[in-house]
Amino acid sequence: MARGFHEPGDKPRRFYAGVSVADEPDGYTVLLDGRPLRGPKGSRVVLPTRALADQVAEEWAAQGETLELAKMHATRLANTAIDSVPLAREATAQAIADYAASDLVCYYAVAPAGLVDRQERLWGPVLDRAEAEAGLAFVRAAGIIHRPQPAETLAQVKALALELDDFGLTGLAFGAALFGSAVLAVSLQRGWLSGEEAFALSRVDEAWQEEKWGVDAEAAERTERLAGEAAMLDRWFRGLAK
């Protein structure tokens, strides 16, 4: 059987033994048995910082006999940043602004009072900082009825996204989708929150319900998976800054 061959539906087999990182003229690349890692479209995976290359390399080194591609989130982000985002920067930034238009942390419950108080206590300071330090003034709503956000705020979210390089923009888009919140994604990208903190703020409602009714195994598994993605994204942004 050829190296790396797998039947449709099977996980691909690990086809390499050693993983390392090497300098490139414009960054760092991951080597599999001395050969440069390439993305799905054949592009060489070149990362802008050593820390980011180490993060991707660790994913490949951690694989067993088969490759868990769906769990290699940093690798997926790198491929997206290299192959897709450069051709769609405007659309990617607009997608982030669209999350801001109905941002999770702007929609407060009407009841019970304990949940409303928790949301105000946890989300309020994040919104205040976004306004004070990034010029993002959001309208806060009660209930689930949509409230339009100021056009200036949405334009500023898009502008801040476009200021980032392709790797930062890719991470910000991933974070906005993960949290359901451009505010939390920006807060993580800027280092105002850790990945753990941002993820906790994104699920205040869920945590409240779990305290009241308990947690089933499926929900716990999903929470653990998403928390891992948030931790990965935290490291991604910190790695970009090194």
pLDDT digits 0-9 by tens, 146-157: 999 999 999 999
Q: State how far the Cα of 174 lies from the Cα of 82, in Å rounded to an integer.
A: 15
Work out the average pLDDT over 166-195. 98
Report whether CATH 2.70.170.10 matches the domain 19-83. Answer: no
Residue 4 has pLDDT above 90, yes or no: no
Work out the average pLDDT over 56-76. 96
Phi, psi of 154 (to 5 degrees): -65, -40
Q: Are 240 and 168 in contact (CB under 8 A)?
A: yes
**Sequence-ordered list of residues with C-beta below 8 angstroms from that of 78, at least 6 positions apart, any chain:** 39, 45, 47, 52, 56, 167
CA distances from 218 to 37, 119, 128 (A): 34, 25, 35
Identical fold between 19-83 and 88-240: no
pTM above 0.85, yes or no: yes
Residue 229 has pLDDT above 70, yes or no: yes
Peptide bond into 12 cis (omega under 30): no
For 132, the token pair is 């004070």
Angle, in degrees to the nearest 10, between helices 73-83 and 50-61 = 130
Instruction: Map out the domains of the chain as residue ranges.
Output: 19-83, 88-240
Q: What is the pLDDT of residue 11?
A: 87
Report whether CATH 1.10.3580.10 matches the domain 88-240. Answer: yes
